[in-house]
Amino acid sequence: MQVIKQLSVFLQNEQGRLEELTSILADAGINISALSVAENSEYGIMRMLVSDVARGAEILKARDFSVKVTSVLCIETPDQPGALQKALRILSGSGINVSYMYGYSNGGTARLVLKVSDPDSALQLLSE
């Protein structure tokens, strides 16, 4: 479990824009290890964990992408019913809001990225 930096990139919802973003990162040798894309009719937000956050943000900004670096909490839970709910109960019971999350499970473990109102406190609570 740890607090890490995530890139959030605002994209116009137009053909080829997502490919352009991934091409820029690939050409710079920056790996995307996790991502989530949320969209509406006019724009999308691509949230990513990348191998070099500072360089990725710099390169994308230089190419006129709107980029924000955000602290997020990465946790692992057992891949079983109730494991996520237990973590969310701890956070909610301590007044920590979860704005969004994304993740996956594989091999008996769920890996989750959470945007929370207080990442450092959340980390401490979930580590106890």
Looking at residue 35, its pLDDT comes to 95
pLDDT, tens digit, 9 for 90 and up, residues 47-94: 999 999 999 999 999 999 999 999 999 999 999 999 999 999 999 999
Q: How far is residue 73 CA from its own chain's centroid?
A: 8
Neighbours of 38 (CB within 10 A): 12
**Tokens (6 digits) for 26:** 């690939």
pTM for this prediction: 0.87
- The whole-angstrom separation of Cα 4 and Cα 55 is 15
Looking at residue 40, its pLDDT comes to 82
Domains located in the chain, CATH noted: 2-70 (3.30.2130.10), 72-127 (3.30.2130.10)
The conformation of residue 16, written as its DSSP 8-state character, comes to T
